[in-house]
Amino acid sequence: MTSTDQQLPGSAAIEAAALRSDRFRFEREADWQRLDAIVTRMEKGQLRRLSDEDVQALPVLYRTVASSLSVAREISLDAATLAYLEALVQRAWFVVYGPRSSLGSWLRGFLGGGWSAAVRAMWVDVLIALAVMVAGAVAGWLLVAGDPDWYSAVVPSGLADARVPGASREVLMRSLDGAQGSTGLSAFAAYLFSNNAQVSILAFALGFAFGVPTLMLLVQNTAGLGAMLWLYHGQGLMLDFAAWLSVHGTTELFAILLAGASGLHVGRSMALPGDRSVLQAAAEAGRRSAQVMTGVVLMLVVAALLEGFARQLVHDMAGRFVIGGFMLVAWLAYFLALGRNSEGGSQ
């Protein structure tokens, strides 16, 4: 047998594969081209130029081309056809199942009422978290008032610094005067954002344990606040400390409150699912809480900027109260007024 005769079976197989590929393309290529044209126009923002027939045919064409890709893989068609079909199916998937709005439109909907409506939808959890935070501050005050040794247990050493029981009025006053100036304030703001974000995310994440650890975390964090209030009150600097804290605290504590309420909302939904399954209740609460947590991150960014800059650069008590009061009123107005008709707030 000659070498030419030995190559005939291989040549025949190649020709058969090519014929099969050509037949496969010929039978289905019209659908591919039509889907490609529709997707291309939609990617270019030319939806209005599509006919009603094309719009109605889009999901059917997508499934048809996806089926063609599956068959093409099974029968091992040529690489060029496979690559074309894979790219077309991927592009069509984003058109059929992908997000229907741009980032800008989503942001407008989120800030224009979606976030505030989601917060109002968990108002019970917000009130519970608020009560727990107030109770934590009161408990911290009473603990250190009864025994100052508790101070080091409820106030982290990094936060306490020179602000410890026995510190003189002058030392405590210097901690409030913002004397560090603008040097390093951006780094300080970044550090504070990171720290507060960790507390807020942890308060939310712990909600999946039926909310109990979330409540404990809120008590722990506000107990330190109560202890510091007691410390400054003892030196007659209660108002000075409140002004110092209000600049960023009305935003930061509000953010932590919402994070705790989000975690509690998930935990309460799991513990009391009603006529829903536990998984369904957790999923619904989780979606709403995730929306609130997105806004919490934004609030923490604002709080870090206020803490790293405004609080350090504004020294007088009245100015600090004005900034803190304005932020509190602005947040309350936003959460109470916007998004009354938003779907994000439906229970």
Quickly tell me which residue has 């953010």 as its tokens: 255
Residues 151 and 36 in one domain: no
At 308-320, the pLDDT tens digits run 788 778 888 999 9
Residue 1 counted as domain residue: no
| 333 pLDDT higher than 90 | yes
Quick one: pLDDT at residue 3?
45
Residues 40 and 182 in one domain: no
Residue 3 counted as domain residue: no
Residue 124 counted as domain residue: yes
Residue 272 counted as domain residue: yes
Residue ending a domain, choose from 73, 97, 121: 97
Mean per-residue pLDDT of the chain: 83
pTM: 0.69
Of 133, 167, 88, 113, the residue nearest 252 (C-alpha): 133
At 156-171, the pLDDT tens digits run 776 667 788 988 999 8
Cα distances (angstroms) measured from residue 245 to each of 133, 202, 315, 317, 323: 16, 23, 12, 10, 11
At 35-90, the pLDDT tens digits run 999 988 888 877 777 888 888 888 888 888 888 888 888 776 778 888 888 899 88
| 130 pLDDT higher than 90 | yes
Quick one: pLDDT at residue 238?
94
Of 298, 307, 300, the residue nearest 188 (C-alpha): 307
> Which structural domain range is residue 87 located in?
11-97
At 282-302, the pLDDT tens digits run 888 999 999 999 999 999 989
Quick one: pLDDT at residue 289?
93
With beta carbons less than 8 A apart as the criterion, state whether 196 and 256 touch.
Answer: yes
Residue 16 counted as domain residue: yes
Number of domains in the chain: 2
Burial class (CB within 10 angstroms; exposed 0-12, middle 13-18, buried 19+) of 24: middle
Over its C-alpha atoms, the chain yields an Rg (Å, rounded) of: 31
Instruction: Provide the 3-class DSSP secondary structure of residue 347.
Output: coil
Q: For residue 83, what are its two tokens?
A: 């690559």
Q: For residue 153, what are its two tokens?
A: 């247990």
With beta carbons less than 8 A apart as the criterion, state whether 162 and 176 touch.
Answer: no
Residues 236 and 334 in one domain: yes
Residues 32 and 115 in one domain: no
Residues 129 and 150 in one domain: yes
Quick one: pLDDT at residue 345?
40
| 342 pLDDT higher than 50 | no
pLDDT band at 189 (very low <50, low <70, confident <90, very high): low
Q: Percent helix, strand and coil across the chain, each rounded to 5?
A: 85, 0, 15
Residue 2 counted as domain residue: no
Residue 86 counted as domain residue: yes
Residue ending a domain, choose from 97, 118, 150: 97
Residue 155 counted as domain residue: yes
Residues 165 and 149 in one domain: yes
Quick one: pLDDT at residue 182?
45
Quick one: pLDDT at residue 339?
66
Burial class (CB within 10 angstroms; exposed 0-12, middle 13-18, buried 19+) of 235: middle
Q: For residue 133, what are its two tokens?
A: 């935070």
Residues 88 and 127 in one domain: no
Residues 18 and 137 in one domain: no
Contacting residues for 85 by C-beta, under 8 A, at least 6 apart = 32, 65, 68, 69, 72
Quick one: pLDDT at residue 211?
87
Residue ending a domain, choose from 97, 114, 140: 97
With beta carbons less than 8 A apart as the criterion, state whether 296 and 262 touch.
Answer: yes
Residue 339 vs residue 73, higher pLDDT: 73
Cα distances (angstroms) measured from residue 8 to each of 11, 15, 17, 299: 5, 10, 14, 74
Residues 143 and 266 in one domain: yes
Residues 81 and 119 in one domain: no
Burial 120-140 (b: 16+ CB within 10 A, else e): bbbeebbebbbebbebbbebb
Residues 68 and 166 in one domain: no
Question: Which of 103-107, 127-131, 264-268 is the least confident region?
Answer: 103-107
Residues 59 and 135 in one domain: no
> CB count, 10 Å around CB of 332?
12
